[in-house]
Amino acid sequence: MRTVITLIYVVVFLIMSYPVSGIQWLIHPKDERRRKLMLLSYVHWGFRCVERLSGSKVTVKGLENIPKDRPAVYISNHQSIYDIVVTYSRIPGFCGFIAKKSLLQIPILGWLMKRLYSLGIDRSNLKDGLKVILKAIDEAKNGISICIYPEGTRSKDGEVHEFHAGSFKVATKSGCPVIPVAVNGTRDILEYHFPNIKKSNVTLSFGKPIETKGMSRDEQKELPNRVRDEIIEMMKG
């Protein structure tokens, strides 16, 4: 029953995003930023509802580590599609996700993601991947936070796998701090018993900012391993 209710809610939420967007145009016809802020609030609310419908308890740690007055690059491990659901509404302001290109091709969902600065990447196409990273760097320089899953895909065994170094260029080239993010327990909501949704105890932890301005080449080279190690430690406790 939980699965059916969630699916119905998601469909209604997506369909309603169009009239909601239309209302935003009527209220702020000349203010694109205000329209997007209203859409962001709608999406945050929708994700919180999806989270509650799963019946899961989400414990959030380290909110005080999130910068309130500047963008950041959030680097997270990846266990489940629910990672985005529990993470997105906890990040203040605009935050674009670098996600599979196929996600942005889903009707309505793809439109919502693009409106709120998310970027689709084809990891099998190096040229396309470079374009996406360069676009993400520009967005970060313009005040948009970016969230990246540098493992490249969801972990099927729950372990934190090797991080792709290219993902960290968004932080080092834009000068934004890196915020390590550890998500634990989301795979128990869906992936372990797909397509059924079951409640789980989820922990979402935000680590302390790692400043990238002034980093030496050696420090930049070591950054992926440093962040991965911090995420693994946060997952332990």
Average pLDDT on 195-209 reads: 96
- Residue 14 is encoded by which pair of tokens? 């997506």
Average pLDDT on 189-217 reads: 95
**pTM recorded for the entire structure:** 0.95
Q: How confident is the model at residue 222 (pLDDT cuts 50, 70, 90)?
A: very high
The highest-level CATH class for domain 57-236 is alpha beta
170 with 191: CB under 8 angstroms?
A: no
User: Residue type at 122?
Assistant: D
- Residue 168 is encoded by which pair of tokens? 């960290």
For residue 39, count CB atoms less than 10 angstroms from its CB and return exposed for 0-12, middle for 13-18, buried for 19 or more.
Answer: middle
**Using CA atoms, how far apart are residues 182 and 207, in angstroms rounded to an integer?**
8
Q: What is the pLDDT of residue 221?
A: 97
**Using CA atoms, how far apart are residues 187 and 237, in angstroms rounded to an integer?**
18
Q: How confident is the model at residue 156 (pLDDT cuts 50, 70, 90)?
A: confident
Q: How confident is the model at residue 11 (pLDDT cuts 50, 70, 90)?
A: very high
CB atoms within 10 A of CB 8: 11
Tell me the average pLDDT of the chain.
Answer: 95
Q: How confident is the model at residue 162 (pLDDT cuts 50, 70, 90)?
A: very high
Helix (H) or strand (E) holding 183: strand 178-184
Q: What is the pLDDT of residue 119?
A: 97
Give residue limits of the domains in the chain.
Answer: 57-236
Distance of CA 204 to the CA centre of its chain: 12
Q: How confident is the model at residue 237 (pLDDT cuts 50, 70, 90)?
A: confident
User: How much is the CA Rg of the chain, to the nearest whole Å?
Assistant: 17
Q: Tens digit of pLDDT for each residue in 42-95?
A: 999 999 999 999 999 999 999 999 998 999 999 999 999 999 999 999 999 999
Least confident of 75-84, 100-109, 213-222, 227-236: 100-109
Q: Tens digit of pLDDT for each residue in 138-149?
A: 999 999 999 999
